[in-house]
Structure 1
Amino acid sequence: MNYLVAVLRDRIEAESAYSDLERKGIPLSQMSILGRGYKSADEFGLLDPYDSAWKQIRLMATWLIPFGFGAGVIFSIISGLQTFAWAGEWGNHAVGGVLGAIAASMGSIFVGGGAGIILSGDVVPYRNRINAGKYLLVVQGTAQLVRESTTVLRKYTPETLQGYEERG
């Protein structure tokens, strides 16, 4: 499935472009307007990368932190390190466990979705444009349908006109 996303200035321009696409024979079922009064980003399926990343981070932390604590204690016991003389033998093992839990929490952030928060791709800019009062016109279909839609939408000089190919 191919997608074409056009960011248009206002509702009138979005509706006009939608009507032009309809006149050119683009099926209504393959076009969507996103913005105030139309579909929201969530209704269309633009997932919020922040929500999904934090969900994955919490899921990984639930499992990794206890295992990290245990691994830190076991490492401390095996290695026999006495990092803090004042803490005693069991205190040092507890410190090793806490350090293992900290390392595990960092792992859950970096591997679990922290990169998704930082490198969220095009989804966040599209959401920001909708929140700023702009409209997105999305056409989905074959490569030929997207090419035909591109020629129609170019005359509206959209802020951006971006094509995507869904990878299975």
Structure 2
Amino acid sequence: MAIAVVVLDHHQDLCILRQHLVKLSTPLAGLQSVGPGETPFDQVEVLNPQLRQQRLQKAMAFWLVPFGFFAGVTFTVMTNLDTFAFAGLWGNRLIGGLLGLVAGFLGSFAASSGVDSSNEDRLRQLRNRSEEGSWLLVVESRAGQDMPWKDLQRVRPQAVVAL
């Protein structure tokens, strides 16, 4: 899947290009307009690595938290440790499970922090252009589909940035 961001001067150019791209014979995976009256820059996941990191952290927590709990209980049972003897046999296992749960939750943060930031300079340039009043059109092609580069140049944009 290829992603390109088209930077435009006028809202009218954005509307014309968006309508043209919607009518293509091979449909695109996604079109998202960014600018005043459209989607704000910070709410577009492709343009905001923090949103991607939050989504990944939630997905990782969904799997790591329960796994951490069961791993903590299993470890406590297998090693037969009495670390929390005051809590009794089942309390000791439960505390071990809760500690594993916390470890899984912290692990989801560590795993999600590895979001690719290779496009930081390009994203900073796009943010600056957006703050200057330019309109952005985020174009996503389907897997195995070529980006319609000629069609993107149709309204003579300021720039076309590949991400």
Task: Tell me the TM-score normalised to structure 2 length.
Answer: 0.53
Distance in 2, Cα, partners of 1:69 & 1:2: 39
Q: Where do 5+ consecutive residues of structure 1 fail to align? A: 9-13
Deviation string 1:40-73 (CA, Å, 9 cap, x unpaired) is 258xx93355445434533543443233212211
* Shift in alpha-carbon separation, 1:72–1:35, aligned structure 2, 3 A: same
Find the partner of 1:29 among 17, 20, 23: 20
Within-5 A mapping of 1:89-128: 89-111=89-111, 113-116=112-115, 119=117, 121=119, 125=124, 126=126
Q: Distance in 2 between matches of 1:61 and 1:139?
A: 29
Does the CA contact (< 8 Å) of 1:71 and 1:100 recur in 2?
A: yes
Give, as a single letter, the amino acid of the residue that structure 2 aligns with 1:40.
Answer: T
2:134 alignment partner AA: Y
Report the Cα distance in structure 1 between the residues aligned to 2:64 and 2:71, rounded to whole angstroms: 10
CA RMSD, aligned part only? 4.6
Larger Rg: 1
Mapped pair 1:73 → 2:73: yes
User: Structure 1, residues 55-101: CA drift from partner, whole Å, max 9, x if none?
Assistant: 45335434432332122111111112233455554443233212211
Residue ranges of structure 2 left out of the alignment (5+ in a row)? 22-30, 140-146
Letter in 2 for 1:73: V
Structure 1 residue 136 and structure 2 residue 135: aligned? yes
The separation in 2 between residues aligned to 1:50 and 1:81, in whole angstroms, is: 40
Q: 1:83 to 1:121 in 2, by over 3 A?
A: farther
* Residues 1:136 and 1:84: Cα distance change in structure 2 (over 3 Å): same
Give aligned pairs, total: 140
**Which of the two has greater helix per residue?**
1
Give TM-score, length-normalised by structure 1: 0.52
